[in-house]
């Protein structure tokens, strides 16, 4: 259904959404100019529909066994197709975890052939890399709004070996395109290996996207946690050379019992902040891509003026000698072009980078400057982009984003959290028979219920029940899901049966089994 409409002096424009509008502008006005002036030789490759219309992405980076894959399982509440977890380096591939009702693995070569996905440019890294790339189609509510990139564990010390492809360049490629980068550290392994150091340096320039997670923090006590946090910040200060402080989230992002329960409140608040950060990504994605598109257009405009200016300076005879001489005076030429065409010097690429690229190309292939070509870029920047900016607040909020907007964190209260909606996998039959196929015996829990002091209506408030449930030492995220299952009436209170239901599910989880997606009819009297 068509939703967005605006008018220019020459035409009436109608799009389904802002991102479709951006893609249409790129194909109509920009793509041919990028090809003609060899933009891809100097900067980024040509864009496809997948670069505009795909879901926002989150990149996970960390040394092996820091909990990257387990974090994804915790986030989407199920194992993704092809997932492996272990203390050794188990994830040996780049895995794009994407939403699809039909769960399957797609190998790298097939993935890059699909231009509707944003990975087609990875083909340039060759078969050695593509054999280590795959897409995991997984059915999860969270994945309806974001795509998560799981990465191989970064090796440490003498364990580093050749991977057969340029690992840092692949990381750089993803870092440029994702919306959020999560650097995950294990509270017991804070050393930053040479390879991890190079990875962090490869994502330099993407500082606004970087967030840091200190994982498995429940395995140490409060005093140790203070020391570990200080050590982590000191180590990062050496590697990440920036005056700004990166946000560090402290917690244990798994479903196991907390070993040290004293920091539960901190873990709750930190997890809540992280989930809110992730929940903003789909809402901000359109503006981020619009901003990147504007930067690309401005860079292309400078690129065209610069190349055509250099072409005019190159005489037909003694081309090679004059070419090197001109390149060596590139700083002066930058100033000339900036002054002649009223372009800010901040839009020009680094001089050394440009020198290397210019010496490696045939200047005779540079087309002549035509005003109408620059006018096409100006029309996009001055006419179409302002109209699209006005359309963003009017654009309909998608179902996926609305699911995130009720996120309230992970406290054990009756606050619906669709972000943590249960999507667990199949439960074994014998577990069903023990926990899900027979009515609950409320007499087993009645003494504990009445000790908590129910009101005149025979119900306990969320605050009363919270203090009782946290004795299980299960993470607050798990207890939150148990509350949402147990509160059948959705009134924010638990009666005896609902309280018994909550205790029943706690026992089930402590024994290591996944919770059901909804309360089975067989256990309700």
Is pLDDT at 7 greater than 70 in this prediction? no
In this structure, the answer to whether residues 234 and 366 fall within a common structural domain is no
| Helix 351-359, helix 330-341: angle, nearest 10 | 100
Q: What token pair was written down for 440?
A: 């609950």
Q: What token pair was written down for 202?
A: 């490869």
In this structure, the answer to whether residues 222 and 295 fall within a common structural domain is no
First to last CA, the chain: 46
Q: Is pTM beyond 0.95 here?
A: no
Q: Comparing 42-56, 302-316, 386-400, which segment has the lowest mean pLDDT?
A: 386-400
Mean pLDDT computed over 56-67: 90
Q: Which residue has the tokens 């990504």?
A: 281
Q: Which of 70, 89, 85, 136 is nearest to 108 (CA)?
A: 136
175 domain-assigned: yes
Q: What pLDDT does 512 receive?
A: 73
Q: Which domain holds residue 456?
A: 412-523
Tell me which range, 217-221, 396-400, 408-412, is most confidently predicted by mean pLDDT. 217-221
* Bridging pattern class, strands 460-461 and 493-494: antiparallel
The residue with greater pLDDT, 319 or 290, is 290
Q: What pLDDT does 416 receive?
A: 36
373: Cβ–Cβ under 8 A, 6 or more apart, which residues?
33, 36, 304
In this structure, the answer to whether residues 193 and 118 fall within a common structural domain is yes
Is pLDDT at 401 greater than 50 in this prediction? no
Q: What token pair was written down for 346?
A: 């901040």
Q: What token pair was written down for 458?
A: 């025979």
407 domain-assigned: no
Average pLDDT of the residues of the chain:
82
* Bridging pattern class, strands 57-62 and 147-150: parallel
Domain containing residue 469: CATH number: 1.10.238.10
42 domain-assigned: no
In this structure, the answer to whether residues 218 and 306 fall within a common structural domain is no
Rounded to 5°, the CA angle 106-94-105 comes to 20
Distance CA 388, CA 4 (A): 9
Contact 106, 135 (CB under 8 A): yes
Distance CA 329, CA 163 (A): 40
Domain containing residue 21: CATH number: 1.10.268.20
Q: What token pair was written down for 68?
A: 């990257």
**DSSP-derived 3-state class of residue 275:** helix
The residue with greater pLDDT, 351 or 410, is 351
214 domain-assigned: yes
Contact 458, 496 (CB under 8 A): yes
Mean pLDDT computed over 284-292: 87
80: Cβ–Cβ under 8 A, 6 or more apart, which residues?
72, 73, 95, 97, 136, 138, 140
The residue with greater pLDDT, 506 or 258, is 506
Query: Which domain-ending residue is among 259, 279, 314?
Result: 259
Mean pLDDT computed over 13-21: 78
Is pLDDT at 509 greater than 90 in this prediction? no
283 domain-assigned: no
* Bridging pattern class, strands 133-138 and 94-99: parallel
145 domain-assigned: yes
Please write the tens of the pLDDT for every residue from 361-371: 878 788 888 89
- Cα torsion angle, 466, 468, 471, 472, sign: negative
Is pLDDT at 43 greater than 80 in this prediction? yes
In this structure, the answer to whether residues 237 and 95 fall within a common structural domain is yes
245 domain-assigned: yes
371: Cβ–Cβ under 8 A, 6 or more apart, which residues?
none
Half-sphere exposure of residue 105: CA atoms within 13 angstroms, side-chain side: 14
For residue 476, what are the CA distances in angstroms to 101, 117, 420? 29, 35, 11
Rounded to 5°, the CA angle 187-193-195 comes to 130
Q: What token pair was written down for 151?
A: 């990465």
In this structure, the answer to whether residues 81 and 219 fall within a common structural domain is yes
Maximum distance among all Cα pairs of the chain, rounded to whole angstroms: 99
Tell me which range, 62-76, 126-140, 198-212, is most confidently predicted by mean pLDDT. 126-140
Half-sphere exposure of residue 437: CA atoms within 13 angstroms, side-chain side: 8
| Helix 194-202, helix 222-239: angle, nearest 10 | 60
In this structure, the answer to whether residues 220 and 88 fall within a common structural domain is yes
Contact 498, 404 (CB under 8 A): no
In this structure, the answer to whether residues 25 and 62 fall within a common structural domain is no
In this structure, the answer to whether residues 17 and 61 fall within a common structural domain is no
355 domain-assigned: yes
User: Looking at the 3D structure of the chain, how many domains does it have?
Assistant: 3
Give 111-166 as a 3 state SS string.
HHCCCCCCCHHHHHHHHHHHCCEEEEEECCCHHHCCEEEECCCECCHHHCCCCCCC
Distance CA 279, CA 282 (A): 7
Mean pLDDT computed over 155-162: 54
Half-sphere exposure of residue 108: CA atoms within 13 angstroms, side-chain side: 16
Q: What token pair was written down for 386?
A: 């302002």
In this structure, the answer to whether residues 370 and 440 fall within a common structural domain is no
Distance of CA 259 to the CA centre of its chain: 29
Q: What token pair was written down for 185?
A: 């550290």
In this structure, the answer to whether residues 255 and 192 fall within a common structural domain is yes
In this structure, the answer to whether residues 164 and 202 fall within a common structural domain is yes
352: Cβ–Cβ under 8 A, 6 or more apart, which residues?
none
């Amino acid at each position: 259904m068509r939703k967005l409409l605006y008018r220019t002096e020459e035409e009436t424009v109608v799009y389904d959404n802002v991102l479709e509008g951006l893609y249409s502008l790129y194909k109509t006005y920009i793509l041919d100019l990028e090809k003609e002036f060899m933009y891809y030789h100097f900067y980024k490759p040509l864009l496809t529909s997948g670069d505009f219309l795909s879901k926002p992405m989150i990149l996970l980076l960390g040394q092996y066994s820091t909990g990257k894959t387990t974090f994804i399982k915790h986030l989407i509440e199920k194992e993704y197709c092809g997932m492996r977890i272990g203390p050794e380096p188990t994830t040996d591939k780049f895995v794009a975890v994407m939403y699809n009702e039909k769960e399957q693995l797609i190998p790298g070569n097939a993935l890059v052939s699909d231009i509707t996905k944003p990975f087609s440019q990875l083909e340039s890294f060759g078969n050695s890399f593509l054999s280590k790339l795959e897409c995991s189609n997984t059915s999860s509510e969270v994945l309806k709004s974001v795509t998560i990139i799981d990465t191989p564990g970064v090796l440490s010390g003498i364990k580093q070996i050749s991977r057969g492809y340029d690992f840092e360049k692949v990381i750089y490629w993803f870092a440029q395109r994702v919306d959020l980068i999560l650097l995950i550290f294990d509270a017991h392994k804070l050393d930053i290996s040479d390879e991890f150091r190079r990875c962090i340096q490869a994502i330099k320039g993407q500082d606004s996207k970087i967030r840091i997670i200190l994982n498995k923090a429940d395995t140490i006590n409060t005093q140790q946690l203070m020391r570990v946090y200080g050590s982590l910040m000191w180590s990062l200060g050496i590697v990440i050379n920036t005056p700004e402080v990166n946000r560090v989230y402290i917690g244990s992002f798994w479903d196991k019992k907390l070993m040290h329960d004293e920091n539960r409140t901190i873990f709750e608040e930190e997890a809540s902040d992280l989930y809110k950060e992730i929940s903003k990504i789909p809402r901000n994605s359109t503006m981020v891509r619009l901003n990147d598109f504007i930067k690309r257009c401005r860079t292309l405009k400078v690129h065209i003026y610069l190349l055509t200016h250099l072409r005019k300076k190159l005489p037909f005879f003694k081309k090679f000698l004059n070419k090197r001489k001109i390149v060596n005076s590139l700083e002066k030429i930058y100033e000339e072009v900036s002054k002649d065409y009223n372009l800010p010097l901040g839009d020009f690429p680094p001089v050394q980078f440009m020198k290397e690229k210019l010496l490696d190309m045939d200047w005779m292939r540079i087309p002549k400057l035509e005003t109408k070509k620059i006018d096409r870029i100006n029309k996009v920047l001055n006419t179409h982009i302002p109209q699209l900016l006005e359309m963003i607040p009017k654009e309909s909020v998608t179902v996926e984003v609305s699911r995130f907007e009720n996120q309230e964190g992970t406290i054990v209260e009756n606050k619906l959290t669709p972000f943590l909606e249960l999507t667990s996998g199949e439960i074994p039959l014998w577990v069903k028979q023990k926990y899900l196929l027979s009515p609950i015996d409320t007499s087993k829990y009645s003494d504990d219920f009445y000790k908590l002091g129910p009101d005149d209506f025979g119900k306990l408030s969320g605050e009363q029940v919270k203090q009782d449930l946290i004795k299980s030492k299960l993470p607050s995220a798990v207890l939150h899901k148990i509350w949402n299952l147990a509160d059948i009436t959705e009134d924010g209170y638990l009666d005896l049966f609902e309280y018994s239901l909550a205790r029943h599910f706690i026992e089930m989880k402590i024994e290591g089994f996944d919770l059901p997606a909804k309360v089975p009819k067989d256990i309700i009297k």
